Chain A
């Protein structure tokens, strides 16, 4: 087992070159020649966490505008230029981060460096495209939230789990805030958060690392660094007790979403939380799939989730019920399992299973250039050091069942619970 681990994610097999430009841009380059393409990923330390009430959704809206023109490459030219050299791009915004990525053939590297450095240096927001993009984002919100059962429930859950922290509002923002957003807001947000010293760039694939680094240095070094981004004050008070909401939604089946406030990603107990997530919900033989879906036949499906965030995050359990399903029994069954783990731990067999699954998932992420670029950048941004990614397997291994029990007891305290449910409307 030890030999296998060393072979799987041995840092020596992933010789990352690290360099920090004078303006603060943090660059990671890894040469990997097995597939003739390159993955180029830029992480900005900004997400909905950095927004203010009345201007929610700005981080995500700005992500859209980053594809709509800068100084050298004007409106519509970003993706046209990229596709014309055989590349593809996308981006996402989370509570903490805004991440842009391109995948392209090796010979397109110069073009991609030019495109990305151009928009980091000098975003230019076209007034007409700002208006049409506002409508695009509103359509995205209608799609993901307003007309989607889980999206609606999740939005309500966040507002129950968090009372003071910006995690309480949705990444996509409130509809009225999308209507109110201005170009000036977007520019201000860009200037505050898109300086090179607030970014990490990870390049993985068919490149010569020294050559790639030299080109990146040349293209980005003229971009001035900015003042440090404003610190986010986490004023979240201790949980006041259980919170509960019944959501009105024209649903045909009942559904239940439980949420528990957890720990910041960099907390030493995070590996135990991740193993709990894995043991409870990953795979057909996981604890809640067994208890709720297969043995109990109370729910048709169950999903367990926990994203790593800079500040304390949320651990969720989502159960989908058949039309005649009983919400009370499902909630009791979930609570019973969580309380059992809080009392007794997972037991050695379930803990071992969680560790091997979590390890395999990490190895699987290293199968693509994009997966590696993501893993490196995310560990740099959330844990303060990309090298942490090579420590994860050992950190899982070090977790004892007593650690899991202790963490479960503190997390799954009923006073820390928020519950959102939907009942079908009477036929």
Chain B
């Protein structure tokens, strides 16, 4: 396999602490800007869950001296886009423009990050939209299941517990003063970095960054303390949905691994062999051999301060028990026996082979650079990634399976028909603390 490289990365830090990263690629006349603020929904106060997410929505609804929506209009008028987003660890503002509009992108990203107004009328309207979307989520069983995954596994006070957009009841309680305080405490240059990838020279990027972000001031509040996750007994959240003919199934447990752990690459390989690739054991047993589902898989989400391993699938009401039994059986088998040499080899080659596909576009390259910065990974991370995947042996992959594949009490979310779910749990012999939620309580 030919080695994969990021374009040469130029770095600089502004006097106010904002870190800059520029990677030039000139194949198409496009540029992506990615401003990363290292605070996400994990800093939302109890009772105000959804604050970071609502703030990110409102960044685009009035900033500087422009009318609400002016920023979107100006960038869309030149065929560009500007977006904001939040996850548990960070808030991002990204812009995508033709190279000739680079300065406009800098101006607008800087304005929305530094000078949002959070006007009362716009705040009220945005809050109503979020509440409406949460209402609509009641009709989307997959979304409902996903949003309830962390809350099932973590206690409510855990900073990672709440869904990023919050709950209807907590979003209602967010006022303008909360948004202003969030902005003051977290959107500070020392808490942020800017990645620019595409058809732009580094010197031009640094000059524009100085011009548009040089005046950014403010000190960031300390970040949250994140306790390690874990449960004493399995917790099961049953969300009854009227007239469902299919049940959504999600399971979550801890993945006590970070990117520097010797088990990181073995964990990637084990996850791929188990539920990551299209020829994984779970796909084979649950989908191909038995036709129990259209989609089944596992994934690792290694957040800033804790990692999680999760399972996702769905099946008709009649086969909930069979699917859960198979899942538990396959987890046990993988923990005990690990994988065959052929499975390991296929997973390694698959991971190594598809790796460059995640580094094709400017946005993907910007995201990869952001990952290097956020997790302090070192410049050889990308070029060495494939060889490190290819070096994974069977024994550490089995060790990763032992650690990850639900050896300890898990969280389990089931969205669908109550009777079918209860029958399925009984059939699979799963016991734990059962929360029986109405759809209203789960949104």
B28 touches A108 (CB 8 A): no
Q: For B79, B140, B359, B439, which residue has the most chain A Cβ atoms within 10 angstroms?
A: B79
Task: Judge whether B214 is part of the interface by a CB distance below 8 angstroms.
Answer: no
Q: Which of B48-56, B243-251, B297-305, B325-333 forms part of the interface with chain A?
A: B243-251
- Report A-chain residues with C-beta under 8 Å of the C-beta of B98: 4, 360, 363
Contact with B along A249-279 (1 / 0, CB 8 A): 1111100000000000000000000000000
* Size bracket of the A interface: 35 or more
A80 touches B346 (CB 8 A): yes
Q: Which of B126-134, B204-212, B224-232 forms part of the interface with chain A?
A: B126-134
Residue of B nearest to A356 (CB): B79
- Docked CA distance A34–B25 (Å): 10
Q: Which of B242-268 contact A (CB under 8 A)?
A: 242-246
Task: Judge whether A293 is part of the interface by a CB distance below 8 angstroms.
Answer: yes
Q: Which of A144-152, A234-242, A306-314, A326-334 forms part of the interface with chain B?
A: A144-152
Task: Judge whether A131 is part of the interface by a CB distance below 8 angstroms.
Answer: yes
- Docked CA distance A297–B121 (Å): 11
A147 touches B245 (CB 8 A): yes
- Docked CA distance A343–B38 (Å): 50
- Docked CA distance A76–B287 (Å): 12
Q: Point out the residue from B4, B128, B278 that lies within 8 Å of A79, measured CB to CB.
A: B278
Task: Judge whether A129 is part of the interface by a CB distance below 8 angstroms.
Answer: yes
Contact with B along A79-91 (1 / 0, CB 8 A): 1100111111100
- Report A-chain residues with C-beta under 8 Å of the C-beta of B125: 294, 297
B362 touches A367 (CB 8 A): yes
Q: Which of A132-140, A192-200, A213-221, A374-382 forms part of the interface with chain B?
A: A132-140
Q: Point out the residue from A132, A249, A285, A360 that lies within 8 Å of B289, measured CB to CB.
A: A132
- Docked CA distance A138–B315 (Å): 10
Residue of A nearest to B133 (CB): A300
B79 touches A146 (CB 8 A): no
Q: Which of B339-367 contact A (CB under 8 A)?
A: 345-347, 349-350, 352-354, 356-357, 359-362
Task: Judge whether B423 is part of the interface by a CB distance below 8 angstroms.
Answer: no
Q: Point out the residue from B30, B132, B242 that lies within 8 Å of A250, measured CB to CB.
A: B242
Q: Point out the residue from A136, A146, A357, A369 that lies within 8 Å of B291, measured CB to CB.
A: A136
Task: Judge whether A188 is part of the interface by a CB distance below 8 angstroms.
Answer: no
Task: Judge whether B72 is part of the interface by a CB distance below 8 angstroms.
Answer: yes
A367 touches B30 (CB 8 A): yes
Residue of B nearest to A366 (CB): B28
Contact with B along A120-133 (1 / 0, CB 8 A): 00000000010111
A8 touches B353 (CB 8 A): no
B433 to chain A, nearest CB (A): 27
Q: Point out the residue from A86, A139, A294 that lies within 8 Å of B246, measured CB to CB.
A: A139
Task: Judge whether B381 is part of the interface by a CB distance below 8 angstroms.
Answer: no
- Docked CA distance A103–B4 (Å): 15
Q: Point out the residue from A87, A300, A352 that lies within 8 Å of B353, measured CB to CB.
A: A87
B300 to chain A, nearest CB (A): 18
Total number of residue pairs linking A and B with CB closer than 8 Å: 198
Q: Which of A43-51, A225-233, A317-325 forms part of the interface with chain B?
A: A317-325
Q: Point out the residue from A106, A108, A363 that lies within 8 Å of B29, measured CB to CB.
A: A363
Q: Point out the residue from A133, A137, A251, A366 that lies within 8 Å of B139, measured CB to CB.
A: A251
- Report A-chain residues with C-beta under 8 Å of the C-beta of B128: 297, 300, 322
Task: Judge whether A7 is part of the interface by a CB distance below 8 angstroms.
Answer: yes
Q: Point out the residue from B3, B129, B362 that lies within 8 Å of A293, measured CB to CB.
A: B129
B76 touches A322 (CB 8 A): no
A4 touches B100 (CB 8 A): yes
Task: Judge whether B277 is part of the interface by a CB distance below 8 angstroms.
Answer: yes
Q: Point out the residue from A68, A108, A139, A149 that lies within 8 Å of B292, measured CB to CB.
A: A139
- Docked CA distance A8–B284 (Å): 44
Residue of B nearest to A9 (CB): B28
- Report B-chain residues with C-beta under 8 Å of the C-beta of A294: 61, 68-69, 125
Task: Judge whether A421 is part of the interface by a CB distance below 8 angstroms.
Answer: no
Q: Point out the residue from A86, A134, A135 that lies within 8 Å of B354, measured CB to CB.
A: A86
Contact with A along B308-347 (1 / 0, CB 8 A): 0000001110000000000000000000000000000111
B1 touches A107 (CB 8 A): yes
Task: Judge whether B27 is part of the interface by a CB distance below 8 angstroms.
Answer: yes
- Report A-chain residues with C-beta under 8 Å of the C-beta of B27: 34
Q: Point out the residue from A86, A139, A252 that lies within 8 Å of B349, measured CB to CB.
A: A86
Task: Judge whether B77 is part of the interface by a CB distance below 8 angstroms.
Answer: yes
Residue of B nearest to A80 (CB): B279
- Docked CA distance A359–B354 (Å): 29
Q: Which of B18-55 contact A (CB under 8 A)?
A: 27-30
A136 touches B294 (CB 8 A): yes
Given A88-B357, A146-B245 in contact, is the A79-B279 Cβ separation under 8 Å?
yes
Q: For A85, A143, A325, which residue has the most chain B Cβ atoms within 10 angstroms?
A: A143
Q: Which of A283-320 contact B (CB under 8 A)?
A: 283-286, 290, 293-294, 297, 300-301, 320
A103 touches B79 (CB 8 A): no
A142 touches B246 (CB 8 A): yes
Task: Judge whether A105 is part of the interface by a CB distance below 8 angstroms.
Answer: yes
Task: Judge whether A353 is part of the interface by a CB distance below 8 angstroms.
Answer: yes
- Docked CA distance A85–B277 (Å): 13
Task: Judge whether A180 is part of the interface by a CB distance below 8 angstroms.
Answer: no
B136 touches A252 (CB 8 A): yes
B136 touches A320 (CB 8 A): yes
B277 touches A253 (CB 8 A): no
B314 touches A143 (CB 8 A): yes
- Report B-chain residues with C-beta under 8 Å of the C-beta of A300: 128-129, 132-133, 136
B287 touches A136 (CB 8 A): yes
- Docked CA distance A57–B277 (Å): 26
Task: Judge whether B290 is part of the interface by a CB distance below 8 angstroms.
Answer: yes
Contact with A along B281-295 (1 / 0, CB 8 A): 000100111111111
B284 touches A76 (CB 8 A): yes
Task: Judge whether A94 is part of the interface by a CB distance below 8 angstroms.
Answer: no
- Report A-chain residues with C-beta under 8 Å of the C-beta of B346: 80, 83-84
- Docked CA distance A83–B138 (Å): 37
- Docked CA distance A83–B269 (Å): 13
Beyond the given A86-B353, A139-B291, could you list 15 further A-B residue pairs with CB under 8 A, ordered by the A residue number? A36-B1, A83-B278, A84-B350, A87-B350, A129-B288, A132-B288, A139-B293, A143-B295, A285-B73, A285-B77, A297-B125, A322-B135, A323-B135, A363-B28, A364-B96
Complex A-B: 14 CB contacts under 8 Å: A34-B27, A84-B350, A86-B349, A135-B290, A143-B142, A148-B140, A284-B73, A285-B73, A294-B61, A300-B136, A301-B133, A322-B128, A356-B79, A369-B360
